Structure formats: structure tokens, C-alpha cells
Amino acid sequence: MPSAFLPVLDALPARKSPLMERFWSLLEVKSPSQLEAMAREARQITRRNFGRTMRMFAPLYVSNECVNNCSYCGFSRDNASIMRVTLTIDQVVKEARHLVDQGFRNILLVAGEHPKFVSNGYLEECIRAIRDFVPTVGIEVGPMEAPEYERMVKAGCEGLVVYQETYDREVYADMHTAGPKKDFDWRIACPERGYEGGFRRIGIGALFGLSDWRLEALRLAAHLEHLYKHCWKAWFTVAFPRLRPAAGGFHPLTGFPDWALVQTLCAFRITFPEVGIVLSTREPAPLRDALAPLGVTSMSAGSHTEPGGYTGVGADDLHHTIKGRRVDLAERDAKARAEGQFGIADERSPSEVAAMLARQGLDAVWKDWDPAILAAA
């Protein structure tokens, strides 16, 4: 069923709700003093609603196989020369235990979209294999139907992350030339299907650098407003990742400078006081340090975007995938690794990021949920 948000999206920016009118005004050109005032307000709102806490999470990539052709992504199927691998369940467990040893209790399982290599049954196995020692498990994978999401929730998954990438239909069509991801409407309804399937945490976002940043932010905010109205039992997070270097050599189509990122973050915090705001290791360390107190509520640290990146597992099964067929390597290179989705900008360890937060008077929260809470109820 198409999302009820589509008519709202298609009417933007000409027709906006009162809340979106206010949000749009926050994105207007600001003087340095006005931007500083926004930052102060955002900081105060964050302290009032979230205290001095920062939730910590880590992405765990289980596969870089993909049937989609996305111009900006290192996993794109047309990148035939990259090393690919799908981790076994035991290898996923080893990666997860490594992250737990570093302190993480919130892990996001990430995979390219390829039913042949990354089936729903495989994802269920991954979730079941780690749920006993990882209290918070989320997924960022190809979109599913609501009943399939329900299976993931029953397996022990509570978080769903799905980014629309861009809310500009024309740019979306240009960027996604093959595979199921071509379907703009199917993807945009994904958060609502996830909510129907039982997810209690849902993350949305856009990839900045593909279209005009102000319009992208407005459309993302309108989507969030819609979800708050129609999926009101869920807790939402929002992210505005910027394009990073990746296999294929794609370059951003539009600019999104640091000051615009700051303004966007502050506008979301002021407009949506209780939304979670995620900042990943795509951003460089100095910028992450500066943004942490302004409105961010969740950060990753020490991240790898390639399967097996934390422990080196899977290196003995590297291969190419050409037109859906596995092609084994003619020679093995002991130093070879699977291709990552994109380059990391902040390479500090989790402990170094936690120390940075402490210096700013913030507390790194590694665990914020346990299934025993529901059992006690």
C-alpha cells in the first residue's frame, strides 16, 4: 500500500504544515550570531530532554553483496572488481563479541540487498545468534513487507534503520538505475511497514550531497512529522549523513558545508525536541567533537563498513560477483579485505570517543535496554 505521506511530499515546498513553515524559517540564511543563537537553543533543549547522555552504537556489516545499482555506493552491483563476502553466522558472532568486548551493547546489522546471499532467513539467524549477549539489535537492510519485519522482531530485533537517500524523485531515479531500490514509493513506505511489523525504534534519514540541502532537509522533516502522527508508539531517530568516498568514484552533486550541517541539526532539534539525532563516523573527529553537545543523542565509534572489518573474518572467502554469479579469485592475497560501503572519517577507537565525550561533560551510554524490562512487566 502506498504511503499516505506521498501527497504531502509531492506538495512540498509550495504547501507546508504550520510546523514545517516554522522549520523552513529555521533553514533560511542566517548570520553568524543567529546561528550561534540556534546552537544555544538546541543545546538547552537537548539537555532538558536527554540530560548529558550519548548513546553509543556500532554497525556490523554482514554482507556487501547487492543487486542494486546505486551510483554513490561502494556496494553497487556495477562495481564488479570489488572484493565481496557474506559472513557465516559464526563469523557474525565473532564480530559481535569483539564489539561487546569494546563496550558496545547496541549493534546495527547492515547488509547490501541481495536475496541470494542475504535472505530473510539468514538475517533471522544472525539476530538470534547475538541477541542473548547484545541487548539492542537493529537492522539496516533491504526493505521488506510488514510480515517479514514481524519475523525480525520476533527473532529479537527492535530497531529498524532505512534512509530514503534522497527525497527528490528525479535525482532518486538518476541515482538508482537497477534493482528493487529503483522503486521510490516502495522504499518511502518502509518505516510504516516496519512499524506495522512491531519495531519500537525507527531511524530515517537522507544522504546529503545529492540534491539541494534545504529542500532535502524540509522533506525529511515532513516525513518525520508524518511518522510521528501515524506511528506514534515508536521512538524515532533522524540522521543527515554526507556523502563519503567509495568504490566507483562518485562525487557529490551538491554542497553541504559544515555550517549547513550545523544549521540543519539545530533546526531539527528545535522543531522536534524529543527526536533522536544520530552522528556517524562519516564526519571527521573535530566536527563530531563540536556537534556532540548541540543536539546529537547517538554516535558510532571505531566503525568499519566492510564485512569482517573488526576481526578479519571472511577473508578466506573473498570473491567477485559478476551479473549475480560468484567468481572466485585466481589468487589469494593474505592482506586482502572486503570492500567497505564508504570511507570512514573519524577513525578513533570507542574508548577515545568516550574520553572525548567525558571531557565535554557527557556520559557515553553503552547499554540502554534489556529484555528483562519486559519480562518484569
* Three-class secondary structure of residue 144 per DSSP: coil
342 inside domain: yes
268 inside domain: yes
Crossing angle (nearest 10°) for helices 18-26 and 258-271: 150
User: For residues 307 and 96, is the Cβ–Cβ distance under 8 A?
Assistant: no
| pLDDT tens digits, 272-284 | 999 999 999 999 9
376 inside domain: no
Q: What is the mean pLDDT of residues 82-104?
A: 97
β-pair type (106-111, 69-70):
unpaired
| pLDDT tens digits, 141-154 | 999 999 999 999 99
113 inside domain: yes
**Cα separation, 343 vs 205, whole angstroms:** 19
Contacts of 130 (CB under 8 A, 6+ apart): 92, 93, 96, 107, 137
Per-residue cell: 69: 545499482
Given this model, what pLDDT does residue 376 score? 58
Given this model, what pLDDT does residue 18 score? 98
374 inside domain: no
Q: Is the pLDDT of residue 375 over 80?
A: no
Assign residue 138 a region: left if phi > 0, alpha if psi is -120 to 50, beta otherwise? beta
Residue closest to 144 by CA, chosen among 172, 178, 121, 120: 120
For the chain, give the mean pLDDT.
95
**Cα separation, 76 vs 102, whole angstroms:** 31
Given this model, what pLDDT does residue 223 score? 98
- CA within 13 Å, CB half, 26: 27
Contacts of 124 (CB under 8 A, 6+ apart): 151, 152, 155
The dihedral sign for the CA sequence 319, 61, 236, 253 = negative
Banded model confidence at residue 369, pLDDT cuts 50, 70, 90: low
Buried b (16+ CB within 10 A) or exposed e, 295-308: bbbbbbbbbbbbbb
Q: What is the dihedral of CA 144, 145, 151, 155, to 10 degrees?
A: 30
**Cα separation, 211 vs 172, whole angstroms:** 9
Q: Is the pLDDT of residue 377 over 60?
A: no
- CA within 13 Å, CB half, 317: 14
Instruction: Judge if the upstream peptide bond of residue 13 is cis by omega within 30 degrees of 0.
Output: yes
Residues of the chain with pLDDT > 70, as a percent, come to 98
User: For residues 115 and 141, is the Cβ–Cβ distance under 8 A?
Assistant: no
Q: What is the mean pLDDT of residues 329-356?
A: 92
Task: Read off the CATH number of the domain in which 316 is found.
Answer: 3.20.20.70
Which residue would you say has higher pLDDT here, 332 or 371?
332
Q: Is the pLDDT of residue 39 over 80?
A: yes
| pLDDT tens digits, 158-171 | 999 999 999 999 99
| pLDDT tens digits, 258-306 | 999 999 999 999 999 999 999 999 999 999 999 999 999 999 999 999 9
Q: What is the mean pLDDT of residues 96-107?
A: 98
Which residue would you say has higher pLDDT here, 233 or 371?
233
In angstroms, how far is the first alpha carbon of the chain from the final one? 35
Q: Is the pLDDT of residue 332 over 90?
A: no
* Three-class secondary structure of residue 325 per DSSP: strand
User: For residues 80 and 66, is the Cβ–Cβ distance under 8 A?
Assistant: no
H/E stretch holding 315 reads: none
Given this model, what pLDDT does residue 374 score? 62
16 inside domain: yes
CB neighbours (10 Å) of residue 18?
A: 7
Banded model confidence at residue 2, pLDDT cuts 50, 70, 90: confident
Residue closest to 307 by CA, chosen among 299, 297, 318: 318
**Cα separation, 84 vs 319, whole angstroms:** 5
Given this model, what pLDDT does residue 123 score? 97
| pLDDT tens digits, 347-356 | 999 999 999 9
| pLDDT tens digits, 180-228 | 999 999 999 999 999 999 999 999 999 999 999 999 999 999 999 999 9
Q: What is the mean pLDDT of residues 54-76?
A: 96
Domain residue limits at 265: 6-366
Q: What's the one-letter identity of residue 305?
A: T
| Domain count for the chain | 1
Given this model, what pLDDT does residue 248 score? 86
Banded model confidence at residue 47, pLDDT cuts 50, 70, 90: very high
Given this model, what pLDDT does residue 241 score? 96
